[in-house]
Every structure is written in structure tokens, then in C-alpha cells.
Amino acid sequence: MQLLAAVRKDVLLQWRSRTRVLAVFVFGATVLLLFSFAVGPNAEALRQHATGFLWLAVLLSSTLTLSETFQSEMEQRALEGLLLLPVSSAALYYAKAIVNWLQLSMLGLSLLPWMVVLYDVSLPRVQAVAGIILLGAAGLSAPGTLYAALVAQARARQTLLPLLLFPLVVPVLLGSVRASALLIAGDPMGQTSAWATLLASFDLIYWSLCGLLFDRVVED
């Protein structure tokens, strides 16, 4: 019940700032467009690097969302009050992480058609690609939420967050890119399941450890 109440609170906060969600999507779409310009009119190269550019766009856009995770609580000085309530800090963390996961998942799914148009990519297994996006978004949201709490009081949080987050999520990014590429280009060696399993394993590790560490972060 505590988790559901905390998730409901965060969903309402995000709904009130929904214009920011649109801005994040526009930023991600612009990143994809710029990458296509950088590659040029080579259709084969565009298709070959499409999934890598998609996940780079999601990664770069995620920092705009994650860095503002605790903005409302910091502006209203409500974080200390929430911690004083008879609510576990783990529930507060997982509520934020779930809402961030939903936002990043919607971002990735909404950028997928844009990638298809720009890079002339066919999606023979749309549902499987969508599943990889959900797994990849989970791997970004868990450590991203923890680091957002760590840098919430810093003036340069939008600069600090990428510096802390990007090195940690390299395995998630690698697994997401490889699994997505194999689903789109074909997988004659049957490697997709191995990459998806690796991605799910890192998700499990991040969601478990970050939930345990959140209490220490907010206390400090």
C-alpha cells in the first residue's frame, strides 16, 4: 500500500509537468535526426547503426528526466517530511524508480517509429523489440533514480548525473543495443536470448542494490 500511494503521488507530479515529457521526446527525436545527418545518405550504414543511435538518444534524453526526479521535493522542502512519515525509504525509492521506468519506456517506444522512418529499418519482431526497450529502460531508471537523489541538492546536478550514471550503465546499453540489433537485422546464431538474459540480470542487480543503498544516500 505504501508503494502504491507513493507511485500515485509521483504519477500526479509528473502529470502536472507533462510539458517536460514532450520536451524530452523532442530532444530525443532531434538527437536521432542529427545522428542520421552525421551518417549521411548511406542507407546501409543507417540501418546498421540504427539501434545504437536509438539507445544513445534514449540515454542522453534520460538525463533530462532523471535529473529532475526529486525537483518537486527539493523545491517544497518536502523530502525531509516524507522521510519522517511512517513510510519506508525503499517504498519512496521504488516509487520514483517505477515512474522513471515508465517515462523512459514511453520515450523509447515513441522514438521507435521515428527511428524506422529516419533509418529505413523494418521491424519484423516489434513486440520483442518493445520488450528489450522495457528491459533497457529498467536498467537506466534504477541507478538513475539513486544518483538523482545523490545529486539532488547540487546546483550542477544535470552535469554530475551523466558523469556518475554513464559509466555504470555501459553493460545495460551494450545489452540493449546488441539485443535490439539482432532482433531487427536477424539472429542466425540465436544470440538474442543470451543478450536479453544479460540485460535482465543487470536489471535485477541494479534494482536490488539501489533499493538497499537509497536509505544511506538520503540520510547523508
Separation CA 98–CA 210 (nearest Å):
13
Angle of helix 170-185 relative to helix 50-66, nearest 10 degrees, comes to 140
- Give pLDDT, residue 157: 72
Q: Residue-wise pLDDT tens for the chain (220 aa)? A: 666 766 776 677 666 667 778 888 999 999 999 988 888 777 788 888 888 999 999 999 998 888 877 776 666 665 555 555 556 777 788 888 999 999 999 999 999 988 888 888 877 777 888 899 999 999 999 999 988 888 877 777 778 888 889 999 999 999 999 999 888 877 777 788 899 999 999 999 999 998 888 877 766 5
> For residue 161, which of 73, 79, 60, 11 has the smallest C-alpha distance?
60
Separation CA 62–CA 108 (nearest Å):
10
Read off the C-alpha cell for 204.
535485477
Read off the C-alpha cell for 37.
545527418
Separation CA 122–CA 126 (nearest Å):
9
- Give pLDDT, residue 46: 82
- Give pLDDT, residue 82: 57
Read off the C-alpha cell for 175.
545489452
CB 115 within 8 Å of CB 32:
yes
Number of domains in the chain: 1
- Give pLDDT, residue 187: 72
The burial of 167, by beta-carbon neighbours within 10 Å (0-12 exposed, 13-18 middle, 19 or more buried), is given as: exposed
- Give pLDDT, residue 28: 92
Range of the domain at 52: 2-219
Residue 125 phi/psi, 5-degree rounding, is: -130, 75
- Give pLDDT, residue 73: 62
Separation CA 40–CA 46 (nearest Å):
8
